[in-house]
C-alpha cells in the first residue's frame, strides 16, 4: 500500500514538472495554458465555490452509480435466468449502444429538467450496459459441472441461480463496478454541460466562457481526484467483498 502511494506521488510530481516545463518553454499565455502554480492558487482561493459545485456532482455520480449497478445486476440475472428475456431484451440493449450516449443528454434534460434527475439518469445510462454485460457474461460462464451436479441433486433453477451462478459470477460483477466507477463521472459531467445551474461541469463551462482557464483546470483536477478516489474505493470494496 505504501509503495503504491509512493509511486502515485512520484508520477504526480513528474506530471507537474512536465506541465510547468511545457508552460515555461512554450511561453503560452495563461488563458491558454495556466501553470500548475496558478491552478493551485486558484484552487485554494476558489475552494468554497469549487466545493459547492463538487458536492452536486458527487451526489449525481454516487446516486447514478448505485442505481446503475442495481439495475444492471437485476437485468443480468433476469437475462441469465430467462431465454425469452435474452431473445427479447439483448438485441435492444445492443442496439441502444449504437446511439451515442452524448446525444441523449439534451433529450434527458428536456424530459427531466435541469436538476439532479437528468444528470443521474445520464450517469446511470452510461454505466448500465458495462455492468449488465460483465455480470451477464460471468453468469453464463458458470462451470457446467457445478450446474450438472446441482441438477442431479434436485436443486431448483431458483436455488441454482442464487446459490451457485450468482456467487460464481461475482468477480464479473465486480469488474463491471470498477468500470462503472470510471464511467459514472463522465455521464454526470456530460449532463451538466448540456444544461445545469450547479456542478463541476457547469463551473467548467462558466469558467471557459469567461476565459478563466485556471478555474476550469482547478475544477477538472478536483473531478479527476474524486474519480481516482471513487475507483480506488470501489476496487478495495470489491476485493474485500470477494475475499
- Which among 169, 191, 205 has a CA at the least distance from the CA of 63? 191
Q: Of 96-110, 142-156, 200-214, which one has max mean pLDDT?
A: 200-214
| Mean pLDDT, residues 195-224 | 92
Residue 201 lies in a domain: yes
Residue 188 lies in a domain: yes
d(CA 53, CA 168): 40
Residue located via cell numbers 469488474 = 175
Residue 193 lies in a domain: yes
d(CA 78, CA 161): 10
Domain count, the chain: 1
pLDDT at 61: 96
Residue 7 lies in a domain: no
d(CA 193, CA 206): 10
pLDDT tens digits for range 67-114: 999 999 999 999 999 999 888 888 888 887 788 878 888 888 888 988
Residue located via cell numbers 434527458 = 108
d(CA 139, CA 185): 27
Domain holding 64, by residue range, is 34-242
Residue 19 has pLDDT above 70, yes or no: yes
Read off the C-alpha cell for 191: 449532463
Name, in order, each residue with C-beta under 8 angstroms of 169's C-beta and a sequence gap of 6 or more: 135, 138, 139, 141, 142
pLDDT at 2: 67
Residue 192 lies in a domain: yes
- Of the two residues 53 and 153, the one the predictor is more confident about is 53
Contact 42, 215 (CB under 8 A): yes
Read off the C-alpha cell for 206: 462558466
pLDDT at 29: 86
pLDDT at 1: 58
d(CA 183, CA 130): 9
Phi, psi angle pair for 27, to nearest 5°: 65, 30
Provide the pLDDT confidence category of residue 11 given band limits of 50, 70 and 90.
confident
Give the other-Cβ count within 10 Å of 77's Cβ: 21
d(CA 21, CA 27): 10
Residue 19 lies in a domain: no
The CA-atom distances, in angstroms, between 135 and each of 61, 149, 172, 185 are 21, 23, 5, 21
* Burial (CB count <10 Å: 0-12, 13-18, 19+), residue 131: buried
- Of the two residues 3 and 17, the one the predictor is more confident about is 17
d(CA 77, CA 8): 38
pLDDT at 4: 66
Contact 139, 165 (CB under 8 A): yes
Name, in order, each residue with C-beta under 8 angstroms of 110's C-beta and a sequence gap of 6 or more: none
Residue 21 lies in a domain: no
Residue 212 lies in a domain: yes
Contact 57, 200 (CB under 8 A): yes
Residue 79: give its domain's CATH number.
1.10.3720.10
User: Kind and range of the H or E element at 199?
Assistant: none
| Mean pLDDT, residues 113-119 | 90
Amino acid at each position: 500500500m505504501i509503495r503504491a502511494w509512493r509511486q502515485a506521488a512520484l508520477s504526480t510530481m513528474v506530471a507537474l514538472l512536465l506541465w510547468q516545463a511545457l508552460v515555461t518553454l512554450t511561453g503560452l499565455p495563461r488563458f491558454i495554458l495556466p501553470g500548475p502554480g496558478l491552478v493551485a492558487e486558484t484552487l485554494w482561493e476558489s475552494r468554497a465555490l469549487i466545493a459547492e459545485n463538487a458536492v452536486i456532482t458527487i451526489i449525481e455520480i454516487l446516486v447514478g452509480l448505485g442505481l446503475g449497478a442495481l439495475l444492471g445486476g437485476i437485468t443480468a440475472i433476469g437475462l441469465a435466468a430467462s431465454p425469452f428475456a435474452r431473445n427479447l431484451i439483448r438485441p435492444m440493449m445492443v442496439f441502444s449502444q449504437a446511439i451515442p450516449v452524448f446525444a441523449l443528454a439534451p433529450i434527458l434534460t428536456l424530459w427531466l429538467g435541469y436538476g439532479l434527475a437528468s444528470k443521474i439518469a445520464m450517469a446511470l445510462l452510461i454505466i448500465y450496459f458495462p455492468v449488465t454485460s460483465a455480470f451477464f457474461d460471468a453468469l453464463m460462464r458458470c462451470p457446467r459441472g457445478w450446474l450438472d451436479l446441482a441438477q442431479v441433486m434436485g436443486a431448483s433453477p431458483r436455488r441454482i441461480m442464487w446459490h451457485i451462478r450468482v456467487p460464481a459470477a461475482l468477480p464479473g460483477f465486480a469488474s463491471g463496478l470498477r468500470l462503472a466507477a470510471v464511467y459514472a463521472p463522465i455521464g454526470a459531467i456530460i449532463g451538466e454541460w448540456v444544461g445545469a445551474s450547479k456542478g463541476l461541469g457547469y463551473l467548467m463551462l462558466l469558467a471557459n466562457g469567461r476565459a478563466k482557464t485556471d478555474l476550469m483546470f482547478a475544477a477538472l483536477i478536483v473531478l479527476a481526484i474524486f474519480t481516482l478516489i471513487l475507483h480506488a474505493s470501489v476496487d478495495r470494496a470489491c476485493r474485500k467483498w470477494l475475499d
